[in-house]
Amino acid sequence: MKLIRFGAKHQEKPGIMHRGQRKDCSAHFADWNHDFFQNGGLAELESLLAKEGDKLPEVPEEVRWASPIARPGMIMCVGLNYADHAKESGMDIPKEPLVFMKATNTIAGPFDPVDIPRNSTKTDWEVELGVVLKKDALYLEDEAAAADAIAGYCVINDLSERAFQLEKGGQWVKGKSCPGFSPVGPYLVTPDEIEDVLSLPMHLSVNGIQKQNGNTQTMIFKPAYTIWYLSQLMLLEAGDLISTGTPPGVGLGFDPPEYLSAGDKVELSIAGLGKQRQQYK
């Protein structure tokens, strides 16, 4: 299944892609949130789609695409999770997952415009594979149990302000939590629709010029391992979003570095998970 959400900001409703059309599920479910995932909502949605998919109301074409998940309890990110990206950043390959958080109010739709933060000179792009949980997870036994906790996968642009992140001391969260810095979607794709999540081409371009051309197969710490690892340290909750790192080609890695300016257009995609487009202002 491909879960979507739609509607004006702060008025989003849950929906589903069915036969290539956006369908409104708001008469049956409140939202794609913690309660939905934790209480077997995916199975209920699958049943509804099989019985009444064609009868669900269509979402008008002009209606905004929102993030395919409601605001999560946590956005956990894995840094330097591609060996070649660590190299271009001038940093050592981590021996264990290097994790940091983004503020959950950074969630945005896949086509929403993005404001360059005030006083920013180094706003950067990062195409990443997002993983959403379908159940609470703590002290998982192994990677198989972790894989079973996955609701689906999505595209996320882990936007970063590098001066805030790297030049102001302390945690990376400073450069990761500007408003609109986590465009997600357009879909949340359930695992059964993806043949091999560890072999997905990833692309990002700026103003039509390709910057990132990677593949999830070069990821250091795979999604199931990352979930298992995190569950040994903290409680992960249904609906939480884990952003699993970016391949090479970020602006910081160029010589000289390249960063986003007002008017720039960014397009990014992961095979099978859809495409995003943002204009910066």
Same domain? For 45 and 84 the reply is: no
> What's the distance, CA 67 to chain centroid?
9
261: tokens are 């300016």
Report the domain count for the chain.
2
Measured CA distances, 211 to 65, 200, 235, 241, 263 (Å) = 25, 17, 36, 25, 17
**For residue 223, which phi and psi values (nearest 5 degrees)?**
-55, -45
Last residue of a domain, one of 42, 65, 88: 65
The β-bridge relationship of strands 182-183 and 274-279 is unpaired
Q: Count other Cβ atoms within 10 Å, centred on residue 64.
A: 16
Residue 185: partners with Cβ closer than 8 Å, 6 or more residues away: 4, 5, 65, 66, 67, 68, 109, 110, 154, 155, 274, 276
pLDDT of 192 reads 97
Two tokens at 229? 């690892």
Domain final residue, candidates 65, 98, 119 = 65
Specify whether 56 is located in the same domain as 149.
no
The reply to whether 114 and 34 lie within a common domain is no
Task: Determine the pLDDT at residue 127.
Answer: 98
Instruction: Tell me the sheet residues that pair with 257.
Output: none
CA pair distance 131, 197, nearest whole angstrom: 10
Please tell me whether residues 17 and 127 are part of one structural domain.
Answer: no
The CA distance from 130 to 223, in Å, is 9
Q: How many CB atoms lie within 10 A of CB 133?
A: 26
- Asked whether residue 88 carries a pLDDT value surpassing 80, the answer given is no
Q: Are residues 191 and 249 in the same domain?
A: yes
Determine the pLDDT at residue 90. Answer: 74
Q: Which helix (H) or strand (E) holds 228?
A: helix 223-231
Give the domain-ending residue among 39, 65, 91. 65
Question: Is-contact 183 108, C-beta < 8 A?
Answer: yes
Residues 192 and 255 in one domain: yes
Q: What is the pLDDT of residues 175-221, one digit of tens each?
A: 999 999 999 999 999 999 999 999 999 999 999 999 999 999 999 99
What is residue 202's predicted lDDT score, i.e. its pLDDT?
98
Residues 132 and 179 in one domain: yes
pLDDT at site 91: 74
Contacts of 255 (CB under 8 A, 6+ apart): none
Tens-place pLDDT, residues 149-171: 999 999 999 999 999 999 998 88
